[in-house]
Amino acid sequence: MPSKSGKSDLYDDIKRRVLTLELKPGRDLDEVALSREFGISRTPLRDVFRQLAGEGYLEIRNNRGACVAPMSHQTLRDFFLVAPMIYSAIGRLAAQNATKEQLKDLKQAQTGFRNALKTDRPGDLVYYNDRFHTIMGEMADNVFLLPSLRRLLIDHARIGQTFYRPKDDGMKTRLRTAADQHDEFIALIEARDEDGVARLVDKHWELSRDHIELFITPDALPLELPQSA
């Protein structure tokens, strides 16, 4: 019988690989290789695939197996259309319903985000940012909003990774601002300040949207092409 830890490790690892684009959108998953890597048979492996498909990380295709959820122009359009509304609703409900244990988890996620920023680990930044906002979704305690939030966070992470430029001088500044805003979220949620959280959600979304839109627009080509030697 396959160990429970094998399924759990597979679930966590595929999520991480999808969020960091180690597994590209639309890529087919190799069941044989993954079964061998995690020491589990095809049946529990497919159970994990179905769970991840239900959460929006994968797609299950008839007679073709599983693939990473694709991204398209429609994905981008839908993301920008609904993200601010859902993030705002989540923030208000989080301020209403957060428990002490969830606040503790939120602070731990923020510590991980700060450490990743300090040590310049992009993959960990993606992971802990996703964890931070997922915990806020859990705080909201709404069966309709949480699945939508989780789906948004998947593509939020992937879109940001797609347009990440390591040499961009403003990147560190934006990430530090995001980290400072995370600290503000924690304080406002502890204070049960719904309006304050909602205002901060708007600022946090604008920061993220500006970052993404900056990299969707490519650099202009030079007016004069360099002459060959």
The whole domain housing 53 covers 4-68
pLDDT for the residue numbered 1: 39
pLDDT for the residue numbered 172: 82
Q: What is the mean pLDDT of residues 180-191?
A: 98
pLDDT for the residue numbered 162: 58
Angle (CA) 185-189-193 rounded to 5° is 105
Q: What would the pLDDT profile of 38-86 be if each residue is shown by its tens digit?
A: 999 999 999 999 999 999 999 999 878 999 999 888 888 899 899 999 9
97 & 176 share domain: yes
186: domain CATH number? 1.20.120.530
pLDDT for the residue numbered 4: 44
Residue where one domain finishes, among candidates 68, 95, 117: 68
| Assigned domain for 225 exists | no
pLDDT for the residue numbered 179: 96
Q: Which residue has the higher pLDDT, 106 or 164?
A: 106
Q: What would the pLDDT profile of 107-158 be if each residue is shown by its tens digit?
A: 999 999 999 999 988 889 989 999 999 999 999 999 999 999 999 999 998 8
How many structural domains does the chain have?
2
Q: What is the mean pLDDT of residues 166-195?
A: 88
Cβ atoms within 10 Å of 124's Cβ, excluding its own: 17
Please tell me the distance from the alpha carbon of residue 158 to that of residue 144, in angstroms, as a whole number. 23
pLDDT for the residue numbered 3: 45
Residue where one domain finishes, among candidates 68, 96, 117: 68
Q: Is the dihedral of CA 15, 21, 22, 26 positive or negative?
A: positive
Spatial CA neighbour of 79 closest among 189, 213, 183 = 213
111 & 167 share domain: yes
Residue where one domain finishes, among candidates 68, 90, 122: 68
The three state secondary structure string of the chain is CCCHHHHHHHHHHHHHHHHCCCCCCCCECCHHHHHHHHCCCHHHHHHHHHHHHHHCCEEEECCCEEEECCCCHHHHHHHHHHHHHHHHHHHHHHHHHCCHHHHHHHHHHHHHHHHHHHHCCHHHHHHHHHHHHHHHHHHHCCCCHHHHHHHHHHHHHHHHHHCCCCCCHHHHHHHHHHHHHHHHHHHHHHCCCHHHHHHHHHHHHHHHHHHHHHHHCCCCCCCCCCCCC
90 & 20 share domain: no
pLDDT for the residue numbered 176: 92
Please tell me the distance from the alpha carbon of residue 154 to that of residue 208, in angstroms, as a whole number. 14
52: domain CATH number? 1.10.10.10
Please tell me the distance from the alpha carbon of residue 140 to that of residue 93, in angstroms, as a whole number. 4
Question: Is the pTM higher than 0.95?
Answer: no
79 & 182 share domain: yes
Show Cβ contacts of residue 45 under 8 Å, excluding neighbours closer than 6 positions.
7, 10, 31, 34, 35, 38
42 & 88 share domain: no
Q: What would the pLDDT profile of 201-223 be if each residue is shown by its tens digit?
A: 999 999 888 766 655 555 555 55
